[in-house]
Amino acid sequence: MSLLHMAVLAPFLLALIVPTLYKQFRQIHTGWFVLILPILLFTYFLRFIPLTKQGDVITERADWIPSLGIHVDFYVDGLGLLFALLITGIGSLVVLYSVFYLSKEKERLNQFYVFLLLFMGAMLGVVLSDNLIVLYSFWEFTSLSSFLLIGYWNERERSRYGAQKSLLITVLGGLSLLGGIILLSIMGNTFSIRELIAQSGQLMDHTLFTPALLLVLLGAFTKSAQFPFHIWLPDAMEAPTPVSAYLHSATMVKAGIYLVARLSPVFAESGLWLWLVSITGLITLLWGSFSAIKQTDLKAILAFSTISQLGLIMSLLGLGAAALHYDSIGENLYVAATVAAVFHLINHATFKGSLFMVAGIIDHETGTRDIKKLGGLMQVMPITFTIAVIGAFSMAGLPPFNGFLSKEMFLASMVNVLELNIFNMDTWGVLFPVIAWVASVFTFIYSMIVVLKPFTGKFQANLLDRKPHEAPIGMLVSPIILALLVIVFGIFPNLLSATIIEPAVTGIQPSLAADDFHIHIAFWHGLTPELFMTIGIIAVGFVLYLSLPKWQKSLQSLPERLSLNVLYDNGLRGLERSSASLMKRLMTGSLRTYLLSIFLFFILSLGFTIYWKDAFTLDTKHFAPIGFYELIVAGIIVAAAIAILFAKSRLTSIIILGAVGYAISLFFVLLRAPDLALTQLVIETISVSLFLLCFFHLPLLASRKEERMSFRLNNALVSIGVGVIVTLIALSAHSNKLFDSISSYYLENAYKEAGGKNVVNVILVDFRGLDTMFEITVLSIAALGIFAMIKLRLTRGKDPS
Amino acid sequence: MKQNDLILQTVTKVAAFVILLFAVAIFLGGHYSPGGGFVGGLMTSAAIVLLLLAFDLKTVTAILPIDYKFMIGAGLLISSLTVAGGLLFGVPLMTHAYRYIDVPLLGHISLHTAVLFDLGVYLVVVGVTMTIIQTIGESE
C-alpha cells in the first residue's frame, strides 16, 4: 500500500464516514467536509507533473489476487495524470458548487456525497490502473455510482427512467469490455496494459485480435456516448446539475475516451481501429451537434453538445492512429491529431463544466431551463452571462478562447486526412473535412442558442416562477474559475503543452520521442486553410442562427422519427413483451404439457445421440434362452398393461395394476430372486390398498363420470417414442457389456468376509449398508410426511364439516 | 347393527401369532435364507394390520400401546449407531464384526453386528407402515 493507493482509496474511505458527519454536524453543509479531499488529491497529483514531464512513470503495486495475476497496479504517466487532475480539479469545483446548489434542509446530502465520492474514487481507479481487471472493476463502479447519482431524485419517474437507461447501456458496454479484456489476456497472457503494449506487434496477428478490438471499442463507445449509444446521456440530465457537470461533461463520459487513448498502442496498428474510431466519432459529432439545435431545454442542448464534442475527440484519436503508419515522425501530421484530441479534452472539460454550472444557476434562480421561457437575463445576472459567453464562445470555437485553438487543430487534422494514402483514405477521406466543417457550423449555432436565448431578448417575468436575481457568490466561484481557465488556456496554450499535453500524448503514442511534436503545439498562427474554414463557419453559422425561427419548425418535426430513443424504448418493450408471451406460452401451468416437453426432450436428445454416434448394436451372444414360464408371465404383464389403457373404471385399472405387480413378483421367482419376490408381493399389496383408499375418497362429482381415457395422438406418439427409446438403449447396453460384473466377488466373499449365506441381504446390510441406511431414512421421511399432511391441516378448524 | 365377526376375531387371535412368529423367523434368518429386516418388518405390520381389521384401533392401541413414530426414531438410531460404531474401533464406517460362540441349548451360533443394523431396519419398517396405516385410518 503506497501513498498512491491511499489516494485512490481515500474517496471510498471518506464515503464511509460521510453519513456520520452528516448526522453529527447538521448545521454545517456536508459538502464542506467533502471538499477537503479533492483539493488535497489535486495538489497531490500536481506534484507528479515534474516527473511525468521528464517522461518518468510512477508505478506502485499491491497484491489482490496474485494467484490469478491480478494485482492492484497503479501507475501515473502523462495520460493518467491528465485525467487524474481533471477528476480531482473539476471534482473540487463541483463539490464547492454543489454546496451552494443543494439545499441543506431539503436534500439527502449524505447520499449525494457518498455517491459522488464513490464515483470520484472509481474514476481515479479507472485512469490509474494498469491491471485490466482492476480497471474493469472500477469501470463498473463508475457505472453503478453514476446510476445512483442520476436517480438521486428517485421520487421522479424521469430520473428513474434515465438511471435505468444509462445503467443498461453502460453495463452492456462494460460487459463487452470485460469480454475484450479476457480475450486480450488470452492473447498476451497478462492483464497488465503495459505488458500488452510491449507485445502489441505479436497481438496483431492473433485470431482473437479483431473480436477483442470490437469488444473493447463497444465498451468505450457506450461509456462515452458515441453513436448510436449516445441516447442515455440526454436522459441522464435528470441528475442534479453538479452531477451533470461532473459526470456527464468532464469525467465519466471521458472514460471511454481514456480507454481508447490508453489502448491505442495495442490496437492502433490495425486499419479497423482507425476507421471505426474516427468514423464513429465523426458520425457522433455530426449527429450530436445536429440534434442539439432542436432542443429547448438548456441541459439537453448541453448534453447533445457533450455527445458531439466527445465524437470530435474520438475522431481525432482515430486519426491519431494513422501516425503509426508513417515512419518519418519529423513531418508527421497525424501526431497533431492526438495533440488536438488531448488539448480539446482539457478545453471541453473547462468550458462544458462552466456551461453546465451556468445552466444550473439559471435553473436555480428562475425555476426553469426552458429557453422558450427564458430571455433577457443579461441585466439581472451579469456575471453568469459573462461566464456563459466565455464558455459558449469557446465551445463555438471563437478566438481568443481555448476552444478556438483546439478547433483549429481539429480542422487542420481533418484537412490532413486528404494526404493520407492508406486504407483507401484517398477516396473517402474528403468526407472527413466536410463533415467536420458542417458539424462545426451546427456547433456554432447551438453555442449561440445557449448564450443568446436565455440572456438576450425580452425579459418575461410572468413566465417565471421566481423573481430572478444574481446567484450567490459561492455558486459563482466554480464557474468563474473554469471560465478563467478557458481564457488562460486560450491565451497561453503553451502553459499546458509542455507540462501536461506532451506527457499525455507520449502516453497515447509511446513510440514517439518527446521533442518531435513539440513544435506543433507552439505553432498556432498563420494563414492556414483551417483559418478560412473557421471564418466560413462563423459567417454561415451567423446567417443560419439569424434565420433560425424560419427553419427550426421544420427541424423539430423531422428528428422525432429518426430518434434512436424510439428504437430503444420499443426494443425494451418488445423484449419484455416477447419474453412475457414466450413464458406464457411455455409455462402453461399444466403438468400435462410439462410432462410432454420433458418426454419429448428425452426422446429427441437420446434418439439423436443414438443416431449421431451410431450407437445402436444388437448382439444376441449374451442372451439367455427364453423359458416357457417367462413367456407366459410376460404375456400376462403385456396384456394387463394394455388392458389398463382401455379400462373404463378406475377400480379395474387398480386391480389390473395389482395384477401387473404380482406378475412381476412371479418374474422375480422365476429369475431366482426370492427376497425381491417377497418384498414385491407385500409392497404391491400395500400399494394396491392405498390406491383403493385414494379411489374411495375421490369426490363424487357429476362431471367426474367414469369414462375411458380419451385418445390423443400426441400422447400416443410420445409414449410410444419413450418406449422405443428405452428398449433400444436397453438392448444396446446389454449388447455392449465392456466389463464383467463384480457380482462374482460378492458371491465368493459373502460367507468368507461377512459371515452370511444370503448374498442379497449381506449386500444390503453389509457390503452396501449405507444405501440401506438412507433408504430407511427415506421411508421415515415419507411416513412423517403422511402423518404431517393428514394431522396438520390448518383449514380443519375453520371447516367443521 | 353390530356385525358379528366372531370367526374373524378367533382366527385372528391364532393367525396373528403365527404371522408374528414367521416374521421373526425370516427376520432372524435373513443372513442365511431369504428374508431380513425389510420383509420381516412388513410381515410384522401385516400381523398388526390383521388385528386392526379384526378388532379396531382403540382395542389394538390398548393391546400394543406403542407410538410408532418413536419406533421409527428408535430404528434409525439403532441403525446409525451400528453404522457409526466402527469408528470407536478405528475402522471405517459400516464395518461389521461377527463371531461364532457356543451357547448352551442353542449350540454353535454366530453373533453378528449386521443383525443390529437389520433390527434398526425392522423397527423403521414396522414404524413406517403402522404410522401410515394408523394415520390414514384415524383421519376422517
Instruction: Report B:101-140 residues touching A (Cβ under 8 A).
Output: 110, 112, 114, 117-118, 120-121, 124-125, 127-129, 131-132, 135-136, 139
Please state, in angstroms and rounded to a whole number, the distance separating the CA atoms of residues A390 and A400: 10
Would you call B114 and A682 a contact, using CB atoms and an 8 Å cutoff? Answer: no
The domain tally of chain B equals: 1
Would you call B117 and A679 a contact, using CB atoms and an 8 Å cutoff? Answer: no
Domain containing B129 equals 5-138
Dump pLDDT digits (tens) for B6-50.
888 899 989 999 999 999 999 988 888 888 888 999 999 999 999
Q: Which amino acid is at A796?
A: R
Q: Assess whether pLDDT exceeds 80 at residue A558.
A: no
The stretch A299-326 carries a mean pLDDT of: 85
Cα distances from A12 to residues A4, A25, A124, A489, in angstroms, run: 14, 20, 11, 32
Please state, in angstroms and rounded to a whole number, the distance separating the CA atoms of residues A87 and A703: 75
Q: Which amino acid is at B79?
A: S
pLDDT of residue A492: 81
The stretch A523-528 carries a mean pLDDT of: 64
A121-142: string of b/e by CB count within 10 Å (b at 16+)? bbbbbbbbbbbbbbbbbbbbbb
Q: Which of A297, A169, A293 is nearest to A244 (CA)?
A: A297
Alpha helices in chain B (DSSP H): 6-28, 37-54, 57-63, 68-85, 113-138
C-alpha cell at A14: 471518506
The answer to pTM > 0.90 is no
The stretch A468-497 carries a mean pLDDT of: 82
Please state, in angstroms and rounded to a whole number, the distance separating the CA atoms of residues A433 and A798: 83
Task: Give the residue from chain A lying closest to B97, CA to CA.
Answer: A754
Spell out which residues of chain B touch residue A773, defining contact as CB-CB under 8 Å. Answer: 79-80, 83, 94, 117
Reported confidence tier of residue A427, pLDDT bands at 50, 70, 90:
low
The stretch A276-297 carries a mean pLDDT of: 88
Dump pLDDT digits (tens) for A585-607.
888 888 888 999 999 999 999 99
In degrees rounded to 5, what are phi and psi of residue A190? -160, 155
Please return the burial class of B41, using the count of CB atoms within 10 Å of its CB with bins 0-12, 13-18 and 19+: buried
Q: How far is A765 from chain B (nearest CA, A)?
A: 6
Q: How far is B24 from chain A (nearest CA, A)?
A: 15
Q: Which residue has the higher pLDDT, A524 or A654?
A: A654
Q: Assess whether pLDDT exceeds 50 at residue B1.
A: no
Contact of B97 with B113, CB cutoff 8 Å = yes
Hey, of B45, B94, B98, B140, which one would you mutate to test binding to chain A, going by the most A CBs within 10 A of its CB?
Answer: B94
